[in-house]
Amino acid sequence: MTREPPAPTPPPFELVCPAGSLPALRAAVEHGADAVYIGFRGATNARNFPGLNFSWEEAATGLAHAHAQGVRVFAALNVYPGPDNWALACETVDRAAALGVDALILADPGLMAHAAQHHPELRLHLSVQGSATNWRAIEFYRREFGIRRAVLPRVLSCTQVERLVARTAVEIEVFGFGSLCVMVEGRCALSSHVTGHSPNVQGVCSPAQAVRWEETPAGRQSRLNGVLIDRYAPGEAAGYPTLCKGRFEVGSAVFHALEEPTSLNALDVLPRLIAAGVRALKVEGRQRSPAYVAQVTQLLRRALDDCLADGPAWRPPQDLTTALDGLAEGRTHTLGAYHRPWQ
């Protein structure tokens, strides 16, 4: 029997990349991720999409591969289980712990209590789905369950992130790139209102089975469970009908009333985030292809290495930003709440 390699020691600042499959995990590891995060099949994590996520065998293979390359593996079990799937959620925690994942990413306090009680040695990370937007909420999870890291919702300004980091002993991980939630993660029931399925319960938002595309004389239309989410002029690029990114009518105006289809790119504030003491930069996108994961990981690895070498004066070079825009939803990016142009 081969000896398992020891758990990798993390660098002071980690690049955390998504892996929805074994090939995506290999791509992230190969292109410079310090850690990857995965989910298991079934409704235990917030990217519960068909064809996505890991069987136990795949997870074991992925873990061995990542550890051999010095890369940590985090497992997301970040739905809020109800009585019907409580036993499955606990069993998944237990099996993930036995597998030897480097951390569990949890949102549900009850499930955290289970993990803290039965696997006291296991690192717990508070998922973005835990909606912790202030140090006192994070302190609740630290005091009750000993969480070691919290992933911040994508609603805080850069200054708020800086102040929060200064007030907490818990490591802070923030989103750096990928699709953007404009709502506080874990505090959004828009999807279940329209489709009956939500991020909190089923681990999905605006699920594909509720989407319908139509070609009409007025243009291509997207519907979610019958509700018209958007209508596109001929030649206009049509995006996935995530319901908060549709065009709606308010008063007499038709516009993206909640959010434009655009991606988050935090590289403009990366030096500030590092200087503030943020410990990890997270890339969204477990639903993305291995090729996407490879490209994004490679670009962000380069950005991070350059930024760490150059210090506070570093700014993202134009070719890097252009390359990332090419991979982004809507082919454009925003600093989102970090900068708050709408503030």
Question: Does 133 engage in binding with other proteins (CB under 8 A)?
Answer: yes
157 Cβ neighbours under 8 A, 6+ residues apart = 337, 338, 339, 340, 343
User: ∠ CA(60), CA(11), CA(284), 5° rounding?
Assistant: 60
Contacts with 51 (C-beta within 8 Å, 6 or more apart), sequence order: none
Among 4, 55, 82, 213, binds other proteins (CB under 8 A): 82
| 231 lines the binding site for other proteins (CB under 8 A) | yes
Nearer to other proteins, 302 or 340 (CB): 340
Question: Between 1 and 253, whose beta carbon lies closer to other proteins?
Answer: 253
Q: How far is CA 303 from the centre of its chain?
A: 19
Establish if 49 lies at the interface with other proteins (CB under 8 A). Answer: no
- Which of 15, 33, 132, 204 touches other proteins by CB under 8 A? 132
Which of the stretches 8-16, 95-103, 157-165, 273-281 binds other proteins when contact is defined by CB under 8 A? 157-165
233 is a site residue for other proteins (CB under 8 A): no
Beta strands 35-39 and 14-18, pairing class: parallel
Closest approach of Cβ 6 to other proteins, in Å? 33
- Three-state secondary-structure class, residue 249: strand
Q: For residue 82, how many other CB atoms are within 10 A of its CB?
A: 11
Nearer to other proteins (CB atom), residue 161 or residue 296: 161
Cβ atoms of 157 and 338 within 8 Å: the answer is yes
DSSP state, residue 7: P
Rank residues 5 and 82 by Cβ distance to other proteins and give the closer one: 82
Which listed range, 36-44, 47-55, 130-138, 318-326, lies at the site for other proteins (CB under 8 A)?
130-138
Please give the helix or strand (H or E) that residue 64 lies within, else none.
helix 56-68
Determine the distance from the C-alpha atom of residue 163 to the mean position of all C-alpha atoms in its chain, rounded to a whole number. Answer: 22
* 3 state SS of 253: strand
Q: Is 84 a residue that touches other proteins (CB under 8 A)?
A: yes
- Which lies closer to other proteins via its Cβ, residue 302 or residue 339? 339
Q: How many residues bind other proteins (CB under 8 A)?
A: 66
57 makes contact with other proteins (CB under 8 A): no
Among 65, 95, 148, 163, binds other proteins (CB under 8 A): 163
Site for other proteins in 280-309 (CB under 8 A): none
Considering the complex, what minimum distance in angstroms separates the CB of residue 248 from other proteins? 5
- Phi/psi of residue 44, each to 5°? -115, 0
Q: Which residue has the tokens 């606990």?
A: 90
Tokens of 26: 């290999």
Q: Count CB neighbours of 310 within 10 A.
A: 11
Determine the Cα–Cα distance for residues 78 and 153; give it in Å rounded to an integer: 13
Interface with other proteins (CB under 8 A), residue from 131, 206, 263, 295: 131
Cβ-contact 103, 173 below 8 angstroms? no
187 scored as a contact of other proteins (CB under 8 A)? yes
Binding mask 312-341 toward other proteins (x if CB under 8 A, else -) reads -------------------------x--x-
For other proteins, what does the binding mask look like between residues 89 and 128, x meaning CB under 8 A? Answer: ------------------xxxxx-xx--------------
| 3-state class (DSSP) for residue 199 | coil
Q: Is 53 left (phi over 0), alpha (psi -120 to 50) or beta?
A: left
Footprint on this chain of other proteins (rule: CB under 8 A): 80-84, 86, 107-111, 113-114, 131-137, 139-141, 143-144, 155-157, 160, 163, 182-184, 186-190, 192-196, 198, 200-201, 225, 227-229, 231, 244, 247-251, 253-254, 257-259, 337, 340, 342-343
